[in-house]
Amino acid sequence: MMSALSPAVTDDRGTRLLLMCSLALNVFFVGAAGALAARHYLAPPAPPAVVDRSVAGRIERLAATLPAGDADILRAEFRDRLASVEAVQGTYRQAQDRIRKALRAEPFEAEPLSEAMAGTRAARQDFDRALQEVIAAAAARMSPAGRDKLADWPPRPRSGGEPGR
């Protein structure tokens, strides 16, 4: 004679199997969440990106956005005018040093500081003019696509509705 399992016993096994699967999934998800949290909170932070703030670094970042031939034109123009750009930049740095000196002077006097600030403004204008002359001379020899990229400088992150270039 063959014994048959009652429906109550069969339901009990199905319930146990469902309970074990549910428990396994819960353990998996809790472990995954814990691993992600640990990685996020316990991992050392990434070092900040180092940005070259020199004039050459800025020209290089600008050139990197241009078509290859136009980038070479900009780099060559900058190399050709490097001595004059560095001289004007040196004058600007000296003007900034005069501000620092005026601020540290004892007894402090406002008039020398104002004069140093005016000199720094003029030196900054000369420095900006020298860099703009490099760009203008290079742009005169660039393709229309290169000049278009120059017009878009600095590149902006795209907003949701703004078309990309």
- pLDDT at position 3 over 60: no
* pLDDT tens digits along 13-43: 888 888 899 989 999 989 888 888 887 777 7
* pLDDT tens digits along 120-152: 999 999 999 999 999 999 999 999 999 999 999
Cβ–Cβ contacts within 10 Å for residue 11, how many? 10
Whole-model pTM? Answer: 0.64
* pLDDT tens digits along 45-91: 778 888 888 999 999 999 999 999 999 999 999 999 999 999 999 99
Q: Give residue 164's pLDDT band: very low, low, confident or very high (50, 70, 90).
A: very low
* pLDDT tens digits along 86-107: 999 999 999 999 999 999 999 9
Domain boundaries, the chain: 55-151
Top-level CATH class of 55-151? Answer: mainly alpha
Query: What is the 3-class SS of 19-44, one letter each residue?
Result: HHHHHHHHHHHHHHHHHHHHHHHHCC
